[in-house]
Structure 1
């Protein structure tokens, strides 16, 4: 029995619940290629090998330790080491051996012979086996089983989504995934205390140990009394997150040019008092106060039309997205690698870094959006969906959406319901 804390995530009020859908582990595995008898699972170790009559020693790769040094310590001859290394490097990059990785040495009990097997554990899932069970070396890669279970977590945001989740012991990756899902509809830099969310997502496990957050399947976000919903759907060439009407939540432009929250220091205005010129003039963009060197993202795919120093604008990048929209990013400290006029960039690609070049009082990004060559407010612009589910797939989408909603609703009300931290018992 294991106590699963699925959702110690969100500040003032939380409701976190673990639900259904975990893949059961296999009841048995064969121990090696030459063994045909099926053993009881209790006789197998984490890599599926028999633990009967075998001594297993676990070691850790030390700094500057290579496969050659490991085998040398196990009394393999230089000729044998050369042969083993030559065979192994055809399958795996031996330079990926890193300090701190573990390896396991299998030797028959009560013998002083060379190892029958060595298992090099690259990470929690992947491992490489050196097997001498049939008097000749066999080298192969394998993966430990990855199990998933769905969880429902909801709660009220304290400050920012990222900070609230991180400060309460949850995975920041969950906040990052949600920000990407709703990044076209919600400006996450305007998230405020009292906004709330609810999400259905997968937790991943390897041998009963938590491995990480998996895919988000459905999510709700209540922001400034408006409820946003997104459902993952994949069928044929259609894949992504869609709202209740089957429209993609993806838009032509992201709401903001950053991955994480940064304060708006000066909003879009037709009559702003300029901080250095001390006179009123239009401010045709939004200023984000951010630490020096913060990565800046292109809010949409397009072609760079300008990338260089431009007087009061400092280092700037301008991107043309289509015949209608273009964006500009000013006061950069430097440009990302490969950013120059004529280069195509993808939505969400890093194009530069926050600085204070040109006419600037401190590190920040001035971000502009133009529609038909006229500046518009990036915070209030309304962009059409990039795509929609075709009528031929709507019935299938509605079934998927209904299943997700049942799982979300089975754990309580809609996003924002207040509750307490819930500890859920889950046996595996």
Structure 2
């Protein structure tokens, strides 16, 4: 869909709004299945990225002017439309090509394989921004399923549990986390830890203590608390919760009210540093404790990942399918789970390994395409010994009806619904 421009190359906004409105209608009516808004790189860059994403080929119409294929096209949109729906479109359009199943780009007499094109695209900056580490391996990993009926039952039932979400400078997932819990039927309290001066810190500790006392669930959200400084991720989060008042408040929630704790991404890092996973209590870490460290590629990763649920011991996973594969976004620089062989064996034997990175078919391996951070035995999430504390890297809260709908796979592990249901 090309937008109309005037003699000054400015959009004719009346026409633009009309076409965009019709475009939206065509999407809602099922006539457009995917779309890409063009930029300064033009048509070829857009269809290439769309092809890389689904592994399909593209044949460009021979009538297309080669100069237009690489020309800036701000405001124009490339749409993927089923062949039998093209004639039903309400937008003004030009057919520029078709999707093929031969994994090739074709235009006129020129053909380029999808792999050749993708290697050229990703390889340009490989020496600067690594996509594959020196530790890359396709080694297969065992993925035993822990199936048990010995699941913790809450002794303190409540119609609507309250979730406390602490927010620190650098936290950026509190809104999505709150929305996920509210959608599941919980009441959510969100408070910011203020640290401008000593008085702020004292007041924040007292506020957090009071709010935890009113809650049944604590959710440590993702982000980069204090910019992951000093000395690595979640240090600020963990330091605050090692305060005697907050430590006692957390222990009362777990031990006296049968409470639950969830940590995702930066929150998982917090749980590990506090000892809430794998120990189930605030004890800190010892030199041989499992931990999370830098990704094998040495930098931040941001992509959709697939994880396999390998235990049903945790209350958080009661709505998930044992052995089921789920996809969620991952975004972290320190997500690599590492532990000694002794600890790894112990975690699997006790059903504390919650999820493992896998491919679309549930195959678990060390392949960095799927095990994106190089975690030992591809571990993505673990729990406390009784399963009431869950930590994981992938953002299960980042899902909604219109989010990542072009990504293959089930996104909803029903973690939040399971956490709320535990108290009812």
Bin for the TM-score computed over the shorter chain: under 0.3
> What TM-score, normalized to structure 1?
0.25
Which structure carries more helix by proportion? 2
Which structure carries more strand by proportion? 1
Larger Rg: 1
